[in-house]
Amino acid sequence: METYGILTLLPPLVAIALCFITKQVLFSLFIGIWTAATIMSSFNPLTGTALALETIVENITDPWNAKLLLFTFFMGVGITFIWRLGGSLALTDFVKRKIKTRRGICLGTWLLGMLTSLNDCLVAAVTGNVFRDVCKEYRISSEKFSYVLDSTAAPAAAIFISDWIAYQIGMIATGLAAIGVTASATTVYVKSIPYNLYSIFTLIFVGMLMYRGKDYGPILEAENRTLTTGEYTEPGSQPMLNVETDLGEPIKTNPKVRNFVLPIVSAIAVILFGLYWTGREGEGILGVLEQADASTALLWGSFALAIVGFILALTSKLMNFEESMNCFVDGFKLMMLTASILAMAWSLSSIVQEMGLANYIVSLVGSNVPLWIIVILVFLLSMLVSFATGTSWGTMAIMTPLAISLVYQTTGNVEDVSMIAGLVLSGAIVGDHCSPISDTTVMASIYSGADHIAHVKTQLPYALTTAFIVLSMHVLNALIGCGPLVMIPVGIVMIYILQTVLSKLAMKRRGITYDISTLMKDSADEVITYMDQFKGKA
């Protein structure tokens, strides 16, 4: 394989720089691909263009990638059916009847986000539509609500049943092939889950915050504003909500919760069956997972999501055949940008790998670098790439094979491959949460009805707090080899302590004299009554 030396760094750097400058992810990723192709074509721009287009075609038609693209489109169809059939609307009514406290509403958004983690975009669309108006009644700010949507989407999808499983396994398989190791990519993925500390700690951080109400930073200011004035968004802000444009008006005739539950339950059941059926020759659960074709199982599940929605639309007579078919088309449209970004990210990853980026980085770092330094470099670089490109999937495509090659050449330990794969994903999601051009960050703003820039700014302190804990635990593990059984409990204790201390300091610094956390047990009317009395005494 021809090597290109320092030029292998140029394509990803061009893509990152253009993302900062233009804020256009598709354009930036394509120019990154074109740059790589032009270098490989002896700097002939015409031949480079042809090679860039051919690279994209090859990645789209790759069987694994093609299945994930179809999965993405069918997920869009399922989301559209759930919305238009009034499933989200019915669940909103159910929530209003069953949950009567501010804490219950906050925890409800957190739990529903994890339950709908088949796809990170599904979390924002479904949970946002269910809880948005309820949050306004309980004086929960748009900034806090959008944070919950964003911070339960990718973290939950990354460790539960979702399209992320197949994608992560694919990236790990590419990394293993690069180092010539024949270990099962599925086994390495399963072992990497406890090392994906950002996903684990973020879900715990959000749940703890929703229960205790120990806010700090800009979200504390937003909560104080909403509680004292009732203003869901800051005056002068520009909420991004325009649900009807993307999904259309929901049918409000006798909405039923089954229109929400049945498609999702069906999808989960079919995915589990698909994993079993395609991996049934394996022995035990781990053996089945090793043999399973995750991309096929996910494709079946997303198709079930769409078909069950289609059947519900016809059997309930809420839609005729033509309207139901229109839902399919609109669902595909909903996911067009996501699918396009995936295709470009795969293509950039494959072409920089062909240029030998991973080998070049390994040669620069050398084989004598301490593991704790490699951990810091991989985590921070994953954060930077994800922040700049706005896509954690694209970051995994670039960073996973590179990081696997780097750590294996340094330590020669296959177990460290699982650790570094989890660390790359952690860094990718941190950057995704901090990036204003991330698709899930944008969707969290849209479906929460929040100002997008306000959402990004207010989420940063929470994301960086969790990132600090994650990096601390990984460095500790690299130094003393303590493993997840120590890293996870210590990290949870750090979350509790930091939330408590930072909330207390923030309230004192901002001169907030009432205890917001005590309002978590109150109903909407009690919250309003208390705040009116407080303002009267102030």
Show contacts of 204-208: CB within 8 Å, 24+ apart: 204/492, 204/495, 205/151, 205/462, 205/465, 205/466, 205/495, 205/499, 206/110, 206/147, 206/148, 206/151, 206/152, 207/107, 207/110, 208/495, 208/496, 208/499
pLDDT level of residue 123 (50, 70, 90 thresholds): confident
Tokens of 67: 């299945």
Please give the pLDDT value at position 204: 96
Residue 516: helix, strand or coil by DSSP? helix
Return d(Cα 385, Cα 391) in angstroms, integer.
8
pLDDT level of residue 160 (50, 70, 90 thresholds): confident
Please give the pLDDT value at position 411: 81
Q: Residue 309: which of 263, 271, 268 has the closest Cα?
A: 263
φ and ψ at residue 451, rounded to 5 degrees: -70, 130
pLDDT in tens, 453-509: 888 889 999 999 999 999 999 999 999 989 999 999 999 999 999 999 999 999 999
pLDDT level of residue 68 (50, 70, 90 thresholds): confident
243 pLDDT higher than 70: no
Q: Do 417 and 188 form a contact (C-beta atoms < 8 A)?
A: yes
Supply the angle between the helices 452-480 and 197-212 in degrees, to the nearest 10: 120
Tokens of 29: 């990723």
Which amino acid type is present at position 472? Answer: S
Most confident among 33-47, 336-350, 389-403 (mean pLDDT): 33-47
Q: Residue 457: which of 142, 20, 125, 156 has the closest Cα?
A: 142
Tokens of 368: 């004598």
pLDDT level of residue 107 (50, 70, 90 thresholds): very high
23 pLDDT higher than 70: no
Stated as kind and residue range, the H or E segment containing 467 is: helix 452-480
Return d(Cα 397, Cα 172) in angstroms, integer.
9
Mean pLDDT (whole number) for 359-381: 81
Q: Residue 27: which of 337, 237, 380, 304 has the closest Cα?
A: 337
Place of tokens 């109400």: 213
Mean pLDDT (whole number) for 365-378: 83
CA distances from 156 to 68, 118, 149, 192, 389 (A): 18, 9, 11, 15, 21
Sign of CA dihedral 335, 337, 343, 349: negative
Average pLDDT over the chain reads: 85
Q: Residue 162: which of 111, 115, 197 has the closest Cα?
A: 115
- Residue 208 makes CB contacts below 8 A (sequence gap 6+) with 214, 495, 496, 499
Q: Do 213 and 517 form a contact (C-beta atoms < 8 A)?
A: yes
Most confident among 229-238, 287-296, 461-470 (mean pLDDT): 461-470
pLDDT level of residue 44 (50, 70, 90 thresholds): very high
Please give the pLDDT value at position 460: 92
